Amino acid sequence: MGKRILVTSGKGGTGKTSVTAGIASCLAALGRRVVCVDADVGLRNLDLALGLTDTTALDFGDVIAGHVSLDEALSAPPGLPGLSLLAAPSELRTEQTEPEAFARLMAGLAERFDYCFVDSPAGLGAGFRMAAAGCDRALVVSLLEPAALRDAARAVEALERVGMTGAALVINRVRPQLLRVPGAANADDAMDTVGLPLLGVVPEDVAVICAGNRNVPVILYTRKGAAQAYLDMARRLDGQRVPPPRSVKARY
């Protein structure tokens, strides 16, 4: 049975989609069978982060409605065998976004894939509840900023309310020069505020934007910076002991 991993944050724009695509593509590069489910109904963009152009016609709503099979709806991003995407519906159709139906869909995926990632929408409303219903663990993505950390702590409370334990924190877009500013939060402060163990720290990296512009996952664009951080997190999720790079230890 595969792991079903919710990627959430509360606050919008923290990097949920980038982190989902980054870690999932690294796990595929490590030889795992990985599916990414875009749960951002109406605002999907995980397809672009995985190197697929926005031509995906079929989505998880079509599968839940019984219009198409799972195999028909899954698309394969280029360059990473073992990686699949299940797109989000482009508009909200309530009967296709019921948490129970989504949970059944995810249970089916977990029988076929080692890792099933769900990229959740911003906020902690109905979209979050649907996405969470399909998952058995979570990654909470935050920036090192008070508003993002507070929303991440709220996301943790929301996860507890739906009975989900086993979450970890991903700190995204870290700029080392800001860590030296008096009063700036570091990774320890973030873990204290959010109340989760740390899975990894992703630096601010123009490669994330450049890879997006070239329409390739970051790991197929470079092996440094954010790509290295995604790879380290993928290995940790996969059970390997990966210490933080020495430069990271010194800084964070």
Ligand X SMILES: Nc1ncnc2c1ncn2[C@@H]1O[C@H](COP(=O)(O)OP(=O)(O)OP(=O)(O)O)[C@@H](O)[C@H]1O
Paired tokens of 212: 């997006």
The reply to whether 209 sits near ligand X by the rule CB under 6 A is yes
Residue list 44-73, contact with ligand X (CB under 6 A): none
Q: What is the DSSP letter of 123?
A: S
Distance separating the N- and C-terminal Cα atoms of the chain = 35
Identify residues 15-44 at the interface with Mg ion (CB under 5 A): 16-17
Q: Does 40 bind ligand X (CB under 6 A)?
A: yes
What string of DSSP letters covers 14-32? SSHHHHHHHHHHHHHHTT-
Query: Interaction with Mg ion in 42-71: which residues (CB under 5 A)?
Result: none
Sign of the C-alpha dihedral, residues 209, 214, 219, 224?
Answer: negative
User: Residue from 77, 134, 200, 212 that binds ligand X (CB under 6 A)?
Assistant: 212
Work out which of 2, 3, 4, 16 binds ligand X, going by CB under 6 A: 16
Q: Which of Mg ion, ligand X, none does 47 bind, CB closer than 5 to 8 A by kind? A: none
Q: Which is nearer to ligand X, 99 or 123 (by Cβ)? A: 123
Q: Which long-range contacts (CB under 8 A, 24 or more apart) does 90-96 make?
A: 90/41, 90/42, 90/44, 90/59, 91/41, 91/42, 92/41, 92/42, 93/61, 93/65, 95/64, 95/65, 96/60, 96/61, 96/62, 96/64, 96/65
Contact 120, 42 (CB under 8 A): no
Closer residue to ligand X (CB): 134 or 212: 212
Phi/psi at 80 (5° precision): -135, 85
Q: Could you say whether residue 151 binds ligand X (CB under 6 A)?
A: no
Look at residue 131 and give its three-state secondary structure.
Answer: helix
Mark residues 185-204: x for contact with ligand X by CB under 6 A, - for none.
-----------------x-x
From the CB of 145, what's the least distance to ligand X, in Å?
A: 13
- Tell me which of 105, 173, 198, 216 binds ligand X, using CB under 6 A: 173
The residues of the shown chain that bind Mg ion, judged by CB under 5 A, are 16-17
Return residues touching ligand X (CB under 6 A).
9, 12-18, 40, 122, 172-173, 202, 204-205, 208-209, 212, 226
